[in-house]
Amino acid sequence: MNPRSEPLLWLQLVALGAIPLELLGLVLVLAGSDPGPLPGLERLLTWAIGALGTAIVLWQRPADVCSLLLVQVPIKGRSGAQLSLTAMQGSLALKLLMATGAVALLPVFWWIDQHAALATPLSPMAASPRFVALLVACPLLALMTWQWQQLVQATALLTRKPNTPPECPPLSLQQLHTQRLSLGLPVLLLSPLQIPQSTASQAPSKLEASVADTVAIQPEETAEQAESADLDQQVG
């Protein structure tokens, strides 16, 4: 099994560019209103609802590797390779990395809220209530937490050595329903990528062919040498 042939894993790497844009959107949202009397408590509650709550859900049911949040591969139409990739998502290391990203969002969100006033002229929510800005910030934090987990697991699977047997058997459809969080419309059908063989893997075959030709020619040369040696003995 070669995880690099799964196009969904490559699509999930788009989060590398999406998360910075969402952080910028968070700046513009928070810049539209002044902090309340207890800004620290507001930030903590917003992060807990948006990031921490999402991280707890994803710890129990990791984001499905075949789901792009809005669309997903139909569960009944998934291949054995896709079910094997889904089974690899439940490792403790991936869960810890996901939780680390959610925790890191707290100081980032705190810093953004402290300096968001600099972008007040650019905010599309100028003069909006603080409560509205925090409500909009919650789904942005949840979206970044989801994308962070998919980015982590996609990177881990793409860096996995090809043809390495999975550590656990593929999930059944029933296990997929209960152990993975698969969101989106079931309309995504993508063909596996065709990974060409590298030049390094073709080089040994060419070398073996040349060695075989040399071995095949060698007996003829030996026979000619033997025949010339017999003629020399007869003349002598």
Q: Which residues contact 190 (CB under 8 A, 6 or more apart)?
A: 7, 8, 73
Structure tokens at 128: 């909006």
Q: What is the pLDDT of residue 128?
A: 87
The pLDDT of residue 34 is: 86
Read off the pLDDT of residues 16-41 as tens digits, 9 standing for 90 and up. 999 999 999 999 999 988 888 899 99
Q: DSSP class of residue 51?
A: I
Residue of 108 and 79 predicted with greater confidence: 108
The percentage of residues in the chain with a pLDDT greater than 70, rounded to a whole number, is 81
Mean pLDDT of 111-118: 93
What are the DSSP calls for 94-151, one per residue? Answer: HHHHHHHHHHHHHHHHHHHHHHGGGGGGG-TTTT--HHHHHHHHHHHHHHHHHHHHHH
Q: Which residue from 186, 43, 157, 37 is spatially nearest to 105, judged by alpha carbons?
A: 43
Q: What is the CA radius of gyration of the chain?
A: 30
pLDDT-derived band of residue 215, with 50, 70 and 90 as boundaries?
very low
Please provide the average confidence, as pLDDT, over all residues in the chain.
83
